[in-house]
Structure 1
Amino acid sequence: MSQQNITTLSVSRNAFGQSPTGVSADLFTLTNANGLVVKITNFGGIITEIHAPDKHGQFADINLGFDHIEPYYKEAPYFGALIGRFGNRIARGKFTLDGKTYELATNNGNNHLHGGLVGFDKVVWDASTFETANSVGITLKYLSVDGDQGYPGNLNVTVVYELTNTNEILVKYHAVTDKATPVNLTQHAYFNLAGKGGDILNHEIMINADRFTAIDDEAIPTGDLPSVEGTPFDFRSPRLIGERINDDHEQLKNGNGYDHNFVLNKAHAKELSLAARVLEKNSGRVLEVFTQEPGVQFYTGNWMDGSLTGKNWNYTRRCGFCLEPQHFPDSPNQPQFPNTILRPGEEYTSVMSYKFSVAQ
C-alpha cells in the first residue's frame, strides 16, 4: 500500500463471508486523518490489516492475517483475534470455584487455551460503527451463554475498537455476568513491523517487567515469578528479540522460544501504562503497547512452520510477534495470582492500546 493523501476520518462496512454456522460477517475499514488504515471483522473481532507508515512515509500492512474469512476458522493461530472468556491456558481444563469444579473444553493438549474450541475468536459479534471528532471505531457485543465451553454464567461482553488521529488503536473491554466466572480478555494480533516478510529477530523490544511467569513443558505456570535479571528474559532495556532466543535456558526450551507472561511494573493496579515498545530499525516503525492489565504475554511465533500463506507473505517460524495484555495464565488454579473471577454485580473493565509512530 503506497503513501496516501487521506485527510478525513472514515469508517466503512462490507461483506466478509460466513461463519462455519452460516452467520454472515462483515469487514470494517477504519481510516484516520493521517492515512493509517485498520481493518476489523466482527467474526472473532479479528484485526485483519494494519497499514502504517515507515520513516519515508511509505505504508505497509504490518499485521499477519488473511484476506478472506475461511482460514480464520480453519487453521489460523488466533491471528488478530479477540480472546475470551479466558486468554491463555487453564491447566487440565479444570478449575474449582465456590466449591464446585468446572470442566472446560481442552484444545491445547490436556489444557484449555484461549476460551476453548469455540472461543470468542470464532463467533460473529453484533457490530455498530461510530465517529467522533478525532476517531472512528466499532462497538462489538456478544452474549456468552451459561455453559459456553464449560464456563458458568451468562456473560455479556462489549469490546470497542477505536482508531484515533494520534495513530492509536484503543481496545476497551467490558463484561457483566449473572454467575461467578473467570474472565480474562485480550487481543492476539501478530506484528511484523518490517511489513514485508522475514523473521522478527532483528526487531528491538523493551518490556517493562522485572519478573516473568515461569512455565512447565506444557506452558502452564509453575507458580514461580523469577526475576528477569541475568536471564534471556531481561528486556528492561531495549534489545533484539533474537539476541538470546536460542540460549540454552530451560524456560526457552519449555516455550520453544518466548511464550511467557511478563509481570508488568505498575505504580498501582489498573494503571494504564506502557507495557512494551518495539522498534524495527530499517523501517523506523515503532509499536507501543499500553494496558491496565497486570501482565503481557510475549510470543514470538515459535510454532509457525510455513504451512500458512496470508495476504502478504508465507508465515514461517518467528515471522511475527504478539504482545497480549492479560491477567496471568491459569489464574483460576493459582490463588496467589491476581484475581480473575467476575461476580454478579461487578463489572469487568480493561483498556489497552496499540500506538504507532516512526523513529527517524
Structure 2
Amino acid sequence: MSNKVMDKIGEVFAAARNVLVLTHISPDGDAFGSMTAVGSVMRALGKNVTLVVEDGMNDEFAYLPLADKVKKRLPYDGDYDLLIAVDCGDEERMGEPYLEVQDRPIIVNIDHHITNTGFGRFNLVPSSTSSACEVLYTLFDHLNYEISQDVAISLLTGIVTDTLCFRTSSVKPETLSIASALIKAGADLPSIVSRALVVKPFASLKIWREGLNKMKLEAGVAWTTLSFKDLDKPSFDGGSNAGLASMFSNVKEAACGAVLREKEDGRVVVSLRSRPPFSVAEVAVELGGGGHAQASGCALDLPLEEAEFEVVRRLKASVAAQKAALLKK
C-alpha cells in the first residue's frame, strides 16, 4: 500500500468534521465490520459520523460496536464534508443512500476488490489483500490510530468472514499477523467465528429453505431465486440469505453458486460465489457489478426470471471457458 496515499487520507480525515460512511448493498461481514470500525475511529477523532447502508443492519452482526447506529436512509439534515466508502467496488453498489447525497463531498474509497473502479478522490484499493478490514488495519496502524477493543472486534469480523475463517487463497502471513494483533487488542476470535459464521437466526434458515426448495444444478452452476413475494412474511424478518451462495459453490458437482434475491423495488440482487480455481468476478463485472474471484455480486434492473436467465447463461459460459483453459495447462 502506498504510504503517500495513506498519509494524504490521514490529512483528509484530520480536516473533516461531518463524516458519512457508506458500504455496498446486501452487506456482508466485511462491509459491516469495516463500516463500524471506521465509525469507531472517526468518533475517537472527535468527528460527527453517520453510518448508512441501504439494507440496514443485519441481525447476525448486531453484536458489532455501533450496530445500533447504522441507518437505512440518510438523515434529512445531513451535511457532509467527507464520504468514506468501504468494501464497495463502485458508486452504484452503494445504492439509494449514495444517490441521496445532495452535495457530493470528498470521497475516500477503501476497498480490496480487483474490480474497483477507483471512483474516489483518494483510493486505497490493494486488490491482493484479504478484506477491506485488513486494508483498514494497515491504514490505522500507519496513521498511529489507537486500535481499541471496539475497532478490533469490527476489523476481525471483516477478516474472518471474508476469508471464511482464514480458508481463502487471499490469506497471507500478514493477514494472520494482523488477526493476532486484533486478538491482542481484545477481539474474541471464538466468539466472532461463532456469531458471524456459525450461529444463524431461525428466520435465515427459513429463507435458506425457500432457496433450497428451488435450487437447480446445470453445467457446473448451482443457483436459486428468492422472490420478494416469497419472503414478504413476518416470519422471515431478521433473516438473511447470506451464506447460501457459498453453500452452493461447495456442491461437489458445481464450480460456482448464485443466489438471486428480488427486492421490494423490483431490483434483483445477485450473490456469486465460486471454489478455486474458478472465478465469478468476470461475470459480475459484465453485469455491472464487481468483487473478487471467489465472491462477487451485482444488482440488476430486470424482472427476476430475466435476471435468472441472464446470470445463469453467463455463468455457464464462464465455467465452460475456465474448464477448457484448465485442460490446456
| Structure with more strand by fraction | 1
Higher relative contact order by CA 8 Å / sep ≥ 6: 1 or 2? 1
